[in-house]
Amino acid sequence: MPRAVITGAAGGIGGAVARTFAAAGYELALLDLSKAEQPGAESIALDLTDPEAVAEAFERIARRWDRIDALINVAGINHRAPVREMAVADWDRMMDVNVGHMFLTAKNAVSHMGEGAAIVNMASISGHVATPDYPAYVTTKAAVESFTFALSQEVGDRGIRVNAVAPGWVNAGFTDAALSEAENPQDIFDAAREAHLLGRMAEPEEVADAALWLASPEASFVTGQTLFVDGGLMRKH
Ligand SMILES: NC(=O)c1ccc[n+]([C@@H]2O[C@H](COP(=O)([O-])OP(=O)(O)OC[C@H]3O[C@@H](n4cnc5c(N)ncnc54)[C@H](O)[C@@H]3O)[C@@H](O)[C@H]2O)c1
């Protein structure tokens, strides 16, 4: 049975990733601030920006498993503030969660990974297209791809693949939060129809399927790449 560690698994996209990997026969360890609900999975509640907590979580995982086949880094936060108004602490937190946690999990995971193992990091089209008033998010999501590329170079000779998934708008998580705050939620769906060639947002399972493929032997010669799961949004820019 293959084994996957998934961060952000209590969230919208991370939850779909956990369900998708479970359905594909993976044994799961789920890391998030709160315990992720998934039958049969080991859920560990922690702050993924805490180096000691992350190290302890991987020690716990290593006591149970003799290897890790997949690390799927999904945890992330968003913060709306233009540069001139953003608090330094908010900027630092964005970096620590969105990029730093991927460094910490990879740092602890790669020694338990070998030939055929894979890491998948959740990026975003926001690292590529105008997203006004979200400079920290844009910066972190671009950095996720740079980190993915750099790590793929470091571990390629051990047969470990590292890729990123860059979704467009996804009908879950951050979008749920935006919908609940919107005066007219239909405006968001209308904007999504305009933004994507396919005329809609992604369902979280469509993003999870891409992560599953990148982690699978079917993607055995794919590394250092970003897979855009964006319904053609990038092709409209
Ligand atoms: N929803 C979208 O439209 C969309 C689009 C593109 C990319 N993404 C990316 O997908 C990922 C998941 O987003 P989502 O929309 O499912 O949001 P979400 O808020 O539902 O999920 C994020 C999860 O990360 C966890 N998390 C945040 N900080 C943490 C920390 N310090 N320690 C441990 N866990 C922490 C949260 O508890 C949450 O469960 C993010 O990386 C986001 O940037 C989302």
Q: CB of 120 within 8 A of CB of 165? A: yes
26, 58, 134, 137: which is the annotated catalytic residue?
137
**Residue list, ligand 1 pocket, CB within 6 Å:** 8, 10-14, 32-33, 47-49, 74-77, 97, 122, 124, 167, 169-170, 172-175
Can you give the pLDDT at residue 130? Answer: 86
CA 60, 32, 147: angle at the middle one, nearest 5? 90
- Indicate the SS3 state at residue 14: helix
Can you give the pLDDT at residue 60? Answer: 98
Q: Is the pTM of this model over 0.95?
A: yes
Which ligand 1 atom sits nearest the alpha carbon of residue 167? 6
pLDDT tens-digit series, residues 85-96: 999 999 999 999
Question: H or E stretch including 120?
Answer: strand 118-122
Q: All domains of the chain, ordered by start, with CATH?
A: 3-168+202-230 (3.40.50.720)
Which ligand 1 atom sits nearest the alpha carbon of residue 97? 31
Question: Which of 19, 33, 140, 171 is the best mutation target for the ligand 1 pocket, counting ligand atoms within 8 Å of the beta carbon and taking the most?
Answer: 33
CA torsion sign, 138 to 165 to 50 to 176? positive
pLDDT tens-digit series, residues 58-79: 999 999 999 999 999 999 999 9
Average of per-residue pLDDT across 94-100: 98
Q: CB of 21 within 8 A of CB of 9? A: no
Kindly compute the dihedral angle of the four CA atoms of residues 132, 136, 138, 140, in this order, to the nearest 10 degrees.
-170
